[in-house]
Every structure is written in structure tokens, then in C-alpha cells.
Amino acid sequence: MGITDQLVKFATAEVPEVAAAMMRLSLFDWAACGIAGAMEPEFAAFARAQRVEDGPAQVFGGGALGAAAAALLNGTLSHALDYDDTHFAHIGHPSVAVPPAVVALAQTLDTPLTDAVDAATIGVEASILTGIWLGRSHYQVGYHQTATAGAFGATLAAARLLGLDKHQTRNALGLCASMASGVKAQFGTMAKPLNAGLAARTGVEAALWAQAGMTAAQHGLEGPLGFGATHHGEGAEIKMPRKEWQINTISHKYHACCHGLHAMLEALAGVDLEAERIAVVKIRTHPRWMSVCNIAAPKTGLEVKFSYAHTAAMTLLGHRTGAIANFSDDLARDKSIIALRERVEVVEDESLSETQSLVTLTTVSGEVRRLRHDLLAPMTLEARSIKLRMKINALLGAPRADALWQAATGSNLEAVTACFADATPES
């Protein structure tokens, strides 16, 4: 059975409670990232430019637009800080493409929150599976899978919300095959988060057009001239989930920096050792990250987000890497951090996976501590929720974070979207 047939069938699958619970955590995290993203001054003009026509769908920063426009804006703003979740097998950020489409369309349809969560779960799972099907060659050649695979996930989620039949769902996926886009050349620019917004809008539009009777290629993903064949897709074998869902292995970001640094930072969490007692810090990591986040001597707060040595020193000196404000130009120049940074060595280790890091701390007295972490290590939903709430408290302030948490774990979609308008950070 081809991937299109599998996705069409999967659109109406029953969603397990555990997968839906994980989706609610990602919904909480996604909304918080979007609320914070709306505070970014550089996106203010872009947000204003989208307010051409009012509609029923609330957007981050206040106001309401039509479903497609809201999906575009909310998807973009939620990825503005690059602080949203990741799935390493998918090689993308599933929650900035699918939930924006689902939430925008669900408001238009007056869909209950539980049904919206189920649709988002289906869509996120589909985007991950599509990403795996496209494979690493699709990503390595330059496509941004958050946007490409994400668009197909958003489309399937929207098809479920609209109650499309199998023929309409197939057409929606075929339409998406002509619309899905996004290239890694945009990394480092405002167009990177725009890629996510475009994927969310594509999902809404493709499903609505299919509902209206628009037809398209019946195998737009795997056909001879379909999306996979023309976009360097590997066509890896995939199977729709039964008990074990891919969404359950999503990795949330708890540090406001490149995800390649997170395993190392988690390994160092809780280390209580005075800087003057540290002789050497040796960090072993997968070779992929050496060219991504190994800036040895960062000069700006942005560069710090891509520096093993500097963020390791920050953590050991007690600076919270979960706080965006700590990735500042001042901390990039901090003399105590720089002094400790000089004692940090980063080496590649092919025996480690992309989600693992091994840290060896050697003290001046010769004591050696070996610390290891894998981002895919099992974590209970309770433990994950505690870490996410700590992150969102730092991002939005405790009162706003608590209000959003209560809404995301409740039963009312309007309670969630009511939080979108509050775009003033708690000091």
C-alpha cells in the first residue's frame, strides 16, 4: 500500500489517550512559543500585513482572521523563536505546521477541543511519518521538512476536522503535493519561520478546496512525477502506528538554543561544582553537530545559541539556558563565562547518536565525573509536563503560563485561544 493510501486510511484512525496527552503538551508548548513570538518586534510589520480581513480565528498578539490567514500568521510566529518541539527521525518541527492549521480551522467550525486535539495528533503523526518516508536525502539536498512534510500533516489534520471522505482526502493530499514548499536556504532569516506558516496555510487551503470539489493527482506523494520523486524523497517504508506512535518520541526544547546542545545541557543539569575546581570539560557529540552548534568563541547572544563551550560554561556558572534573555550580547562578553569556556573541549564521536552527548568533568584535584544524556530517553508525561511548565514560566511569566496550562489541559478551545491576545511578557 502506497503512502497516500495509508494516509487516507489513517485520517479516521482512533487516537490513543497517551498520544493525545502528548499532543496537549505540545499544544501548550506551541501556543506559548507563539505568544512569545508575537512579542518579537521584527515580526510586527509582517503581522500587520496579514490583517486584511477579519474572521473567526484568533491570532497571536490579538485580533482574529480567516482560517487560512490565521494558520499562516500563527505558524510563522510560533516558529519565530525556534523554541518549539522537534522530532529527530522526521528532521523537523511538527507542532509549528499542524496545530496552527487545526486551531484556526477548528475555531471556524466551532470544533470541541478534544476533537481538535485528536485531529492535531493525527496530523503531527502523519507529518512525522511523511518526513521519515521522504528521508534524510530530501533534507540534505536542501528541503525544510518542517514545511514540506509538515504541510501534508496539516492537510490530513484539516481533512479530518472537515470530515472529508476518502476521495476528498486523497484530493487534498494531491493538492498539497503542488503546494508544499520550503528550503533550508532560508535558515537564519525571517523566512525560516514563514516556511512553517506556509505549511499550516497549505493544510487549511488544500482541505477546503478538496471539500469544494477540486480534484488532484490521486497519488501526489508517491506517483512517478509526484512530490517524492521530484523532491529527492527516498520513499522509505513506513507503517501507520498501532500501539507505538511516533508523536510519543517528540523532543521538546527546554533550552533556548540549538537542539544539538540540549543533550549536553541536560547531562550537565544539577552539577554543583565551583568553577575554580574545574580543570577540563570534555564534550563528546555526534559529528553532525560539529558544523552546526560548535562556535568556539561566540561574540553575540545569537552566536551563543550555537556554542557548546559557551553554553556549557553558562550552565556550570548557574545561568539558566531556558531563559531567552540570557542569550544576550552581554553574556557573550562575560569574562567569567569566557574564562571557563577556555577549559571546554568539544570532540566528535561517531559512536553517539544525534540525540546523545557524553560529558567528562575533570577537577583540579583529579576527580573525574562522566555524565551522559540521550534526548530520546524515556520520560513520563508528568516529568515532561513539569519541565515544560518551568520553560513556559520563564518564557511568559507564571500567571500567564498557568492560565495557558489550565486551558490546554481543559475542554474549551476558546479558553486556549483567549490566551493568544496577551502579548505582554511578565517581568
pLDDT at 424 over 70: no
Contact by Cβ (8 Å): 360, 282: yes
Q: What is the pLDDT of residue 292?
A: 87
Domain at 3-251+380-421, CATH from 3.30.499.10, 1.10.4100.10, 3.40.718.10, 3.30.70.260: 1.10.4100.10
Percentage of the chain with pLDDT > 90? Answer: 93
pLDDT value at 427 more than 50: no
pLDDT-based confidence at residue 51 (cuts at 50, 70, 90): confident
Angle at 213 between CA 209 and CA 215, to 5 degrees: 85
> DSSP alpha helices (H): ranges in 219-316?
227-230, 262-268, 301-304, 308-316
User: Domain-by-domain residue ranges, the chain?
Assistant: 3-251+380-421, 259-374
Q: Mean per-residue pLDDT for 268-293?
A: 94
pLDDT tens figures, 55-106: 999 999 999 999 999 999 999 999 999 999 999 999 999 999 999 999 999 9
- Quick count: other Cβ atoms within 10 Å of Cβ 114? 14
* Residue 159 backbone dihedrals phi, psi, to 5 degrees: -60, -40
The overall average pLDDT reported for the chain is: 95
Q: For residues 319 and 311, give the distance between their C-alpha atoms in angstroms, rounded to a whole number.
A: 9
DSSP, collapsed to helix, strand or coil, labels residue 281 as strand
Beta bridge partners of 54: 65
Give the residue-averaged pLDDT of 15-25. 97
What's the pLDDT tens digit per position in 175-213? 999 999 999 999 889 999 999 999 999 999 999 999 999
Model confidence at 311, pLDDT cuts 50, 70, 90, reads very high
Q: Are 94 and 42 in contact (CB under 8 A)?
A: no
Cβ–Cβ < 8 Å for 117, 62: no
C-alpha cell at 272: 554543583
Q: What is the DSSP string of 398-424?
A: HHHHHHHHHHHTSS-HHHHHHGGG---
Say if CB 331 and CB 303 are below 8 A apart. Answer: no
Cite the DSSP H helix spans in 163-214: 166-179, 191-211
| Cα dihedral value 245, 20, 35, 57, nearest 10 | 110
How far is the C-alpha of 373 from the C-alpha of 41, rounded, in Å? 36
Q: Is 191 exposed, middle or buried (CB count within 10 Å of its CB: 0-12, 13-18, 19+)?
A: middle
Average pLDDT over residues 384-399: 95
Residue corresponding to grid cell 555524565: 371
Binned at pLDDT 50, 70 and 90, residue 1 comes out as confident
Q: Is the pLDDT of residue 425 over 60?
A: no
- pLDDT tens, residue by residue, 128-155: 999 999 999 999 999 999 999 999 999 9
- Amino acid 340: pLDDT: 97
pLDDT value of residue 422? 60
Per the rule left: phi > 0, alpha: psi between -120 and 50, beta: everything else, 300 is: beta
Report the pLDDT value the prediction gives residue 270, as an integer from 0 to 100. Answer: 86
Q: For domain 259-374, give the fold.
A: 60s Ribosomal Protein L30; Chain: A; (3.30.1330)
